[in-house]
Amino acid sequence: MLEIKIHDESCRGCELCVDVCPTDVLAFDKVAHKATIQNVGDCIACLSCAFICPSGAITHSNIHHVKNFYRDLDFCRRVERFL
């Protein structure tokens, strides 16, 4: 199963990842001034958050690579909700 990690010590609280996520997986903790994960099940593994993060604070594991996208029915069903 896909896992996302936000490394607190690296997060500088810019909120770019929260804004770029197309499926609202990430949220912003205003008290801690850090990004948090609120809904990992909706992650479509686009990796936009990881690419945009200026601190390299976000990592994913067990992701489906794009080349497998059309062959993985479970993954397609998850994405279908957002089309």
Binding site residues, ligand SF4, CB under 6 A: 4, 6, 11-17, 20-23, 25-26, 35, 43-49, 53-55, 57-58
Nearer to ligand SF4, 55 or 75 (CB): 55
Give the shortest CB-71-to-ligand SF4 separation in angstroms: 19
Strand 26-29 with 3-6, pairing: unpaired
CB of 31 to ligand SF4, least distance (A): 14
* CB distance 1 to 62 below 8 Å: yes
